[in-house]
Structure 1
Amino acid sequence: MNTSKVWYVTGASQGLGLTLVKKLLANGYRVAATSRNAQLLKEAVGLRDTGRFLPLSADLNNPDCIDESIRQTIDAFGQIDVVVNNAGYGMAGTIEEIAEQDIKKIFDVNVLATINVTRRILPVMRLQRFGYIINIGSVAGFVGAPGWAAYAATKAAVAAFSEVLALDVKEFGIRVTVVEPSGFRTGFLTQNSLAYTESRIDGYQAVKDTQARYLAGNGKQPGDPGRAAEILIQLSESEQPPLHLYLGKDAYSRASEKLKVMTQEIEDWRELTISVDFEI
């Protein structure tokens, strides 16, 4: 395990981000971590070793803040080897009942922040001729659940961004993985991590049933964030990490089933699909 690597982790004050930062520091890595409040982050991590831990206050939708956090990281550690774009939150509710400004906000945090951090760290990694970018997506970005359309759209965007980014930066020795978990016990369904709009419209029964089931299962999710953090560290040591990594039995089942359905649907409609081309 190469503990000389420097990690830059966003959204690190709670959930998977906090678990990962603690695990990295326990294993001797150097870590720069961002949060909206660096003091709260420092208290949550509990480590006072300024030689290995750099807590940073950063508004990830402000390019100047991102640039400053990267500058401070380079000044402190001299390099950035692994980036984990973890900042984000959930949103549940019907599309017609969620306010437009709330939809814009979740895209700002879940998608644009990931893109902004990546585009500003890429010059550092290109000069190094190496680097590893881990974007935290969700199985919902591939197989969404009723009532999670806005959130699923953001995570689908993160997955598509990661796929093309990997093609763009391969020649520089930079690798990319989008991690797509199912339910983890990270407080994701709590007030600080979920914007929830209860439906008051008659109908939408699938949405209401799904939300009730999800909220009732809060704190009982099967995913272990500690194990997930260990897997992210393991990925960073791999010479050929996967482009997509689903985490959790539920993620595996949902993704596998959708692939089967999609394959069958593509074949069922093959003749109509190819009929649109000019005859050659």
Structure 2
Amino acid sequence: MDNQKVWFVTGASKGLGLALIKQLLDQGHQVAATSRSIEELNEGADAKPSANYLPLNVDLRSEDSVGKAIAQTIQQFGRIDVVVNNAGYGLAGSLEELSDEEARANFDINVFGSLNVIRKVMPHLRRQLSGHIFNISSIGGFTGYFPGFGIYCATKFAVQGFTEALAAEAEPFGIHATIVSPGYFRTSFLSTDSLNVPKHQIDAYQSVRESQDQHQNLIDGNQQGDPEKAAAAIIQVATEPNPPLHLFLGQDAYDLAYQKMDAVKGNLESLKELITSTAF
């Protein structure tokens, strides 16, 4: 099939990443999938290594590990067409509660892990003058008014920022970049193995504790978003000749994006005289 592509997907052992690689394999694409656990990855995908499927054990914090994974993918498939930086985890806790170590660990995976992949894959994409990089952000990377999710939102705001710059830098080489900003999807993202909480909690932050409890005990398992449909949407966008820079997924993401844009517009207009009065 002419539309078959080589995909490189991180964080593929569960959630959106797993839904994505299963659909891709079913459609006949060639897939390199990364995880911290090959066993968990193969079990979830219900697949074994084959001519179309390359499972990879990768530490995204290590440039060397990422570089070897990219090289293995090129060696097996000859090229990479689509990259999906999906690996990441949630972190709940107020800015005061979270330690420097906890905050930096979240950035190491959610931000620097993706940057390691981009740094290692771009030379190949530039040489072939084509490619598409999807960076999975969150609606929390577009609007951050969520008590207890400041650091997580900061990591996803960073993804939004560097992806916009990447889109401008990569355009002359025929390479596209898309920011994916999902709302709440019914994955394991809010489970205890995906959502970290502070080691030292401060009782005074009642709103943070309430938000944390709501996410872990009320929202988890009841999210309205279907990860299978989110994966299908990403695959569809990858076929478009002029794909969008911003891809919001979910009614909640759509509504929250407009709330943020309306709020910013309100601030601009209400303070227009002050804002525009600062020139010499």
TM normalised by structure 1 equals 0.95
1:8-47 to structure 2, matched below 5 A, reads: 8-47=8-47
**Corresponding residue number in structure 2 for 1:187:** 188
CA distance in structure 2 between the aligned counterparts of 1:198 and 1:76, rounded to whole angstroms: 43
1:107-118 to structure 2, matched below 5 A, reads: 107-118=107-118
The residue identity in structure 2 corresponding to 1:196 is: V
Q: Is the 8 A contact 2:8 2:83 kept in 1?
A: yes
Q: Once structures 1 and 2 are overlaid, which stretch shifts more, 2-11 or 219-228?
A: 2-11
Q: Is the 8 A contact 1:94 1:199 kept in 2?
A: no
**Corresponding residue number in structure 1 for 2:205:** 204
**Corresponding residue number in structure 2 for 1:172:** 173
* Structure 1, gaps ≥5 residues long: none
| Superposed CA offset, 1:21-68 (max 9, x none) | 111101110000111122321222121251000000111111111111
**Corresponding residue number in structure 2 for 1:79:** 79
Q: Does 1:227 align with 2:229?
A: yes
CA distance in structure 1 between the aligned counterparts of 2:49 and 2:232, rounded to whole angstroms: 21
- SS state of the match for residue 32, structure 2? strand
Q: Give the drift of 1:2.
A: 4.5
**Corresponding residue number in structure 2 for 1:258:** 260
Moved over 4 A (4+): none
Q: Once structures 1 and 2 are overlaid, which stretch shifts more, 7-16 or 197-206?
A: 197-206
Q: Is the 8 A contact 1:8 1:32 kept in 2?
A: yes
**Corresponding residue number in structure 1 for 2:242:** 240
CA distance in structure 2 between the aligned counterparts of 1:106 and 1:266, rounded to whole angstroms: 32
Q: Is the 8 A contact 1:37 1:57 kept in 2?
A: yes
**Corresponding residue number in structure 2 for 1:120:** 120
CA distance in structure 1 between the aligned counterparts of 2:69 and 2:16, rounded to whole angstroms: 20
Cα-Cα RMSD: 1.4
Q: Give the drift of 1:161.
A: 0.6
TM normalised by structure 2 equals 0.95
Percent identical among aligned pairs is: 46
* Structure 2, gaps ≥5 residues long: none
Q: Is the 8 A contact 1:199 1:208 kept in 2?
A: no
| Superposed CA offset, 1:94-140 (max 9, x none) | 11111210100000000001111011101100111100000000001
